[in-house]
Amino acid sequence: MSEMRLTYSDSCFILHSSDRSVENGAKMAPETYEKILSTARRLFVQQGYTATSMRQVAESAGIGKATIYHHFSDKQAIVMALLNHNLARMDKAMQLVRAESDPRCRIQVAAEASIDFLFESADIMQIVRREIPDGRDQMQGGFAKFFQEYMALLAEAIQRGSEQGIFRPINPTDAARVLMTMIQGTFAMAYLINERSQTPQQAAAALLDVYFQGLDAR
């Protein structure tokens, strides 16, 4: 059994494991690695993490059982690789957010990236919460630190926008907190009612229209 440990260092998520099989993905053909991950994810969602065996993943992916065990020691190692995949995407998005100096553009990039990350990571995060107790606290702690930095980046953009006359004077921390609540609420509603007809960009655009314009007629 691999041991999962999620930490946050230098503005980057790092998912550690005592099992080095997760790192071996770079040594196999990229298409094989992606096939294993996508197949495992589909089976985990369709029939549950506990009910899915490594043999089923291998058979569904069209590879030998020995091949999958050569790269992943167990199902938990696959879940860790899936988390790493999504977290790496989010870290790249965070770099774009940090680099964006225009207040409105930074908020737009942040909203789109957040919604995309939440939609893409929801099923894997649920598996960790329900099935992998030793990874639950570490994951939550890592995400808490991530959202703290996200809040700071948003508050900085709002403060800058107020100083430039783009936004009205407002407490930037409060405004950032409201935006994060709207983002998480958008995800929660889509997830609870299983309605994801909008792309992350469309969902972010609808959210930001209300956030920037409000409801009162001008």
Give the amino acid at 39. Answer: T
Distances 182 to 66, 176, 185 between C-alpha atoms, Å: 46, 10, 5
What pLDDT is stored for residue 16 in this prediction? 39
Helix residue ranges per DSSP H, 72-132: 75-99, 103-131
pTM greater than 0.95? no
Name which residue leads in pLDDT, 213 or 136.
Answer: 213
The beta-carbon contacts of 198-201 under 8 Å, at least 24 apart in sequence, are 200/112, 200/115, 200/116, 200/119, 201/112
Give the amino acid at 189. Answer: M
Distances 138 to 7, 116, 145, 203 between C-alpha atoms, Å: 7, 22, 11, 29
Whether 12 and 4 have beta carbons less than 8 Å apart is answered as no
What pLDDT is stored for residue 168 in this prediction? 94
* Whole-number Å distance between alpha carbons of 92 and 186: 22
Distances 88 to 11, 21, 23, 82 between C-alpha atoms, Å: 11, 18, 14, 10
Whether 6 and 16 have beta carbons less than 8 Å apart is answered as yes
What pLDDT is stored for residue 218 in this prediction? 65
Is residue 96 in a domain? yes
Name which residue leads in pLDDT, 10 or 172.
Answer: 172
Contacts of 161 (CB under 8 A, 6+ apart): 103, 104, 167
25 pLDDT above the threshold of 50: no
Is residue 204 in a domain? yes
Is residue 50 in a domain? no
What pLDDT is stored for residue 115 in this prediction? 87
What pLDDT is stored for residue 24 in this prediction? 46
Name which residue leads in pLDDT, 20 or 96.
Answer: 96
Domain carrying residue 162: 84-213
33 pLDDT above the threshold of 70: yes
pLDDT digits (tens, 9 = 90+) for 179-212: 999 998 888 877 776 666 778 888 889 999 999 9
DSSP, collapsed to helix, strand or coil, labels residue 6 as: strand
* Whole-number Å distance between alpha carbons of 130 and 71: 24
Is residue 36 in a domain? no
Q: Which whole number is the average pLDDT over 28-36?
A: 82
User: How many CB atoms are located within 10 Å of the residue 125 CB?
Assistant: 17
pLDDT digits (tens, 9 = 90+) for 128-178: 888 877 667 767 766 777 788 889 999 999 999 999 999 999 999 999 999
Whether 196 and 203 have beta carbons less than 8 Å apart is answered as no
What pLDDT is stored for residue 108 in this prediction? 92
Is residue 148 in a domain? yes
pLDDT digits (tens, 9 = 90+) for 69-101: 988 999 989 988 888 787 787 788 888 899 999
Q: What is the CATH number of the domain that holds 119?
A: 1.10.357.10
pLDDT band at 13 (very low <50, low <70, confident <90, very high): very low
* Whole-number Å distance between alpha carbons of 46 and 99: 39
Is residue 26 in a domain? no
Structurally, how many domains does the chain consist of?
1
